[in-house]
Amino acid sequence: MRRNISESTVRRLSFYLRILEKVEAVGIDTLSSEKLAQRTGTTAAQVRKDLSLFGSFGKRGLGYAIPQLASELREILGLDRTWRVALVGGGRIGSALFEYSGFRKRGFEIVAVLDADSSKVGQRWGKVVLSDIADLEKVLTAESVDIVILTIPAESVPDVLDRVVAVGVRGILNYAPVQLRVPGDVTVKDVNMVLELEALSFALSQTKGE
C-alpha cells in the first residue's frame, strides 16, 4: 500500500521524529510545520509535502498534533516494534557498538555477537555470549535475527555476506570498507566515519590545489 519513498524523505522523517519527541518531552502538544522545518534544516513546504505522503496530520493555524504525529512516524519507520540484531565482528568497533545504548532505545536489540577469534567465543557481554562465526547460520536462525551489523575486516566480508543473505536476513548495516553486492530484496546501509573523512579530505584537496 505504501508509495515509493525516497531515501532522503525517510531520513527527514527520522529528523522530524527526533524533534517531535524532544518537544513532546517538555510538554508541548502542537508544532507548526515552520518550526519543525527550522529545527530539522529544511523548509515548511518540504515538511508538509513529506508528511502528506502518509496522511493528514496538521490543522491549519494549529500545527501538528505532536503525540499522534510522533506515533505515526514511529509506525511508518518501523520503530513501533523490536528488531533483533546480530553483531558480526566483536572487535573494537563491534564492542563500542554493543555498549552504545542508542540502539536499544530505538528498538534495535543486539541478541547475538559472533566472532572468528576462538579466544573471544564464549565471552559474556551483558546478556549475550559470543558465538563462533562458524555457527553463523545456526545462531541467526535460532535468534530470529532481522538485521546484521558487519564489523569484520573487508577481506572477510564476501564469504560472511553470502552466508548472512542465504539464511534470509534482509537488512545489513555495514561498517567494513567494502562495497556489498546483495540481491534486490536485501537493504544495505553503510557507516564509516573514516571513509567520510577521506571523502572530505579528497574534496578539500581538489579545490585547494586549483
Residues at the contact surface with a second copy, assessed by CB under 8 A: 1-2, 5, 7, 10-15, 18-19, 22, 38-42, 76-79, 83, 96-97, 100, 102-103, 106-108, 146-147, 154-155, 157-158, 170-173, 177-181, 185, 187, 189-207, 209-210
Give me the least distance between CB of 49 and a second copy, in Å please. 14
Chain centroid, CA 98 distance in Å: 14
Task: Output 24 or 132, the one with its CB closest to a second copy.
Answer: 24
Least distance (Å) between residue 144 CB and a second copy: 13
Q: Which is nearer to a second copy, 59 or 100 (CB)?
A: 100
Cβ of residue 59: shortest distance to a second copy, in angstroms? Answer: 24
Which is nearer to a second copy, 5 or 28 (by Cβ)? 5
Nearest-approach distance from CB 131 to a second copy, in angstroms: 21
**Kind of pairing, strands 171-174 and 147-150?**
parallel
Question: Can you list the positions of beta strands (E) in the chain?
Answer: 30-31, 58-59, 63-65, 83-88, 108-115, 124-125, 128-129, 131-132, 147-150, 171-174, 187-190
Asked if 44 contacts 34 with a C-beta cutoff of 8 angstroms, the reply is yes
- Tell me the Ramachandran region of residue 59: left when phi exceeds 0, alpha when psi lies from -120 to 50, beta otherwise: beta
d(CA 31, CA 50): 15
Q: Which is nearer to a second copy, 6 or 118 (CB)?
A: 6
Nearer to a second copy, 57 or 171 (CB): 171
Q: Which three cell numbers stand for residue 197?
A: 573523512
Task: Give me the least distance between CB of 167 and a second copy, in Å please.
Answer: 15
